[in-house]
A and B are shown apart, each in its own frame.
Chain A
Amino acid sequence: MGIEALAESLGQNILTTTLGKLVGWGRGNSVWPAQFGLACCAIEMIATATAGVDIARFGSEAFRASPRQSDLMIVSGRVSQKMAPILRTVYDQMPEPKWVISMGACASTGGVFNNYALLQGVDKIVPVDVYIPGCPPRPEDLLNALMILQERIKAQGITPRQ
């Protein structure tokens, strides 16, 4: 078979892209969050997974109990001083590439609790990719944050985190 005949037989069935874009597309549409519920926001995180908002539309319905199987940590709620080392351990156990969403005012800044007990922002111990305001944020807010993160993952491609 000549090269012209091959091209003709394949017709419109070929797609050309870069490896980076392909990997980014794959990663962005299969972000598996770790099951890491802390406080009030965790309930809204569960609500995001139920039929009403349905996070499965974005490929992230597989909340994994083990950090070894997850790509995304949704810090959903207030992080106490006692919980902080455990949160960091769970983060360290997640394989690269990994991302963090800081869900709600408490996780992002300490929220209404400016006191001795709470970590004033989870970004003090782990790098955060997307912050969500709200106390707690609506499930739609979490979906929006996930979509922002997906865009970023797709743009990042195959290159590792800086």
Chain B
Amino acid sequence: MSTPEGVTISRTGEAGAFGGELLTVNFGPHHPSTHGVLRLIVDLDGEQVRSVKPVIGYLHTGIEKQMEALRWQQGVVVTDRHDYLSPPINNLAYALAVEKLLGVDVPPRANALRVIMSELTRLSSHLVWMGTSGLELGAMSMLMYCFRERDTILDMNEEISGFRMHTSYIRPGGVMADATPRFLEMLEAFIRAMPGHVDEYEELLTMNPIWRSRTIGIGRLSAEDAKVLGATGPMLRGSGVAWDLRRAIPYSGYEDYDFEVATSDLCDCYGRYLVRIKEMRESVKILRQALDRLPDGPVNVDDRKILPPPREELETSMEAVIHHFKLFTEGYSVPPGDVYVAVESGRGENGCYVVSDGTHKPRRVKFRSASFVNLQALERMALNHMIADMIAIIGTADAVLGDVDR
């Protein structure tokens, strides 16, 4: 690897604490347990970790730059693909930002559907985390159980939006389509079944001696450190700080739902595991309330300048044809200004900063991704741990590399 002159990466040969020498090892980017293409440069003293330097950018996709070349409504498709484990939540952050600039409010049914999709996504994201983390720490069957429920959620995604993963369901001005009756049936069945499945996961892991000895006391992160490093989501709540954007700065009507902010004072990998388990239970609770109180009405704002007219109107109204043509050739313009909107994803604060210069394309879009910031805490958590515990610590950070590199 080429580095600027005078910069050394390797500390191999420096004196260690046990009379030996330090050894600098490379970890990744092609490594089965780095959750993607994360590369770490680790200084080892014997088997103890002395420093961890993440090297990122191996999945840099140019998503933020790409969005400057796309019209406002096209940008939604790209937001799906940065944090690829929670596409609807990314959509939501972008949609809320654009709506704030446009000054529109979506109808209540759209808000409820947004909440439903967000919570389903949070569940599927936590399920992928639990499955892969279990796999890495030796609980191989976790993957099978977790992906079973994840597939149920993806089937629901497919039913409501026509796509398994990258739904592009939540859009500026509302949602793509109304929920089908079959979707609501599937959701009802899922809400009934899910608490039992969470019990199942807990039975497999919570009192499992191997899981406990691999996670309790591993990767400690105090509340002060977590705050200073800017950690959010389960990383922060696992250190006992009850900070959840759904409660702190409610959006999409989250203030109307009754749920608890899951926290744990253990400050270690096990604590963060407990937080995620609790969050899954709370998500099911929110889904229950959202489904029971799902309001009737439209799912999109009634504004022909932002959203295309209904199909049947196109055959009778010349004005509708003009609107349709304008929207799909030029798109809509957004008033000049800049806005920052943050939502709570499965990983923490997922923020979207949008600058508009009044044209039909964004001037700048910036994502504040939770994975990127949470990754900073990696060194603090891994310090003076054994190299084998690095696997548990990388897993607990739940970094999605697409979200880190964008």
Residues of A within 8 A of B (CB): 35-40, 42-44, 46-47, 50-52, 65, 77-78, 80-83, 86, 90, 112-113, 115-118, 135-136, 138
| Bound complex: CA A100 to CA B333 (Å) | 44
Q: Are B60 and A80 in contact (CB under 8 A)?
A: yes
Neighbouring A residues of B58 by C-beta, 8 Å: 80, 82-83, 86
Neighbouring B residues of A135 by C-beta, 8 Å: 166
Neighbouring B residues of A77 by C-beta, 8 Å: 59
Partner of A46, one of B57, B59, B147: B147
Name the segment of B13-21, B29-37, B232-240 touching the other chain: B29-37
Q: Are B62 and A42 in contact (CB under 8 A)?
A: no
Q: A65-B32, A80-B61, A83-B29 are in contact. Are A39 and B402 (CB under 8 A)?
A: yes
Partner of B78, one of A82, A86, A112: A112
Q: Are A40 and B65 in contact (CB under 8 A)?
A: no
Q: A46-B143, A82-B57, A136-B166 are in contact. Are A90 and B30 (CB under 8 A)?
A: yes
Q: Are A51 and B61 in contact (CB under 8 A)?
A: no
Q: Are A78 and B59 in contact (CB under 8 A)?
A: yes
> Nearest A residue to B128 by beta-carbon distance?
A43
| Bound complex: CA A76 to CA B65 (Å) | 23
Partner of A40, one of B77, B84, B144: B84
Nearest CB in chain B: distance from A42 CB, A: 7
Known pairs A80-B61, A115-B66, A116-B62 / 5 extra A-B pairs, C-beta < 8 Å: A40-B81, A43-B84, A51-B148, A81-B60, A138-B164
> Nearest A residue to B164 by beta-carbon distance?
A138
Nearest CB in chain B: distance from A53 CB, A: 9
Write 6 A-B pairs (CB below 8 A) sorted by A numbering: A35-B32, A38-B37, A40-B165, A40-B166, A52-B147, A115-B66
Q: Are A38 and B147 in contact (CB under 8 A)?
A: no
Neighbouring B residues of A36 by C-beta, 8 Å: 30
Nearest CB in chain B: distance from A67 CB, A: 8
Q: Which of A47, A65, A116, A136 has the most CB of B within 10 A?
A: A47
Nearest CB in chain B: distance from A96 CB, A: 20
Q: Are B166 and A38 in contact (CB under 8 A)?
A: no
| Bound complex: CA A135 to CA B143 (Å) | 23
| Bound complex: CA A65 to CA B33 (Å) | 9
Q: A86-B30, A138-B164 are in contact. Are A118 and B143 (CB under 8 A)?
A: no
Neighbouring A residues of B166 by C-beta, 8 Å: 40, 135-136
| Bound complex: CA A65 to CA B60 (Å) | 23
Q: Are B60 and A117 in contact (CB under 8 A)?
A: yes
> Nearest B residue to A37 by beta-carbon distance?
B36
Nearest CB in chain B: distance from A108 CB, A: 15
Q: Which of B31, B62, B144, B166 has the most CB of A within 10 A?
A: B62
B177-219 vs A, CB cutoff 8 Å, 1 = contact: the mask equals 0000000000000000000000000000000000000000000
> Nearest B residue to A65 by beta-carbon distance?
B32
